[in-house]
Amino acid sequence: MIEILDYDYPQKPKSNKYPNGYQPKIEYWQYKANKAINRLDIEGARFALDKLEYFVGRQALVNQRLSNLY
């Protein structure tokens, strides 16, 4: 007989997608923005700066949550 267990949660805990925070993403999009600015690529710079703004905001939320914990 096969026993089927009914769990309300996943078997494996969810792994942290960004163990180092968003710093690698921030550095990447900062690099891409600088490269686009040097090439005078306005659309590329806008896109990269939008991404940079998003990830900086996400990191600020992480930092805020961590400061509330400690």
**Is residue 38 one of the residues assigned to a domain?**
yes
Residue 45 lies in a domain: yes
- Burial tier of 30 (Cβ tally within 10 Å: 0-12, 13-18, 19+): middle
Q: Is the pLDDT of residue 9 over 60?
A: no
Measured between alpha carbons, how far is 68 from 70 in angstroms, rounded to an integer?
6
Helices marked H in the chain: 23-38, 42-69
**If you average pLDDT over every residue of the chain, what do you get?**
85
Judged against a pLDDT cut of 60, whether residue 59 lies above it is answered with yes
In which domain, by residue range, is 36 found?
23-69
**pTM for the predicted model, two decimal places:** 0.71
Packed helices 23-38 and 42-69: angle between N→C axes, nearest 10 degrees: 160
The fraction of the chain above a pLDDT of 70, given in percent, is: 79
Count structural domains, the chain: 1
Q: How far is CA 47 from the centre of its chain?
A: 16
**70 vs 5, higher pLDDT:** 70
pLDDT band at 68 (very low <50, low <70, confident <90, very high): confident
Q: Is residue 7 part of a domain?
A: no
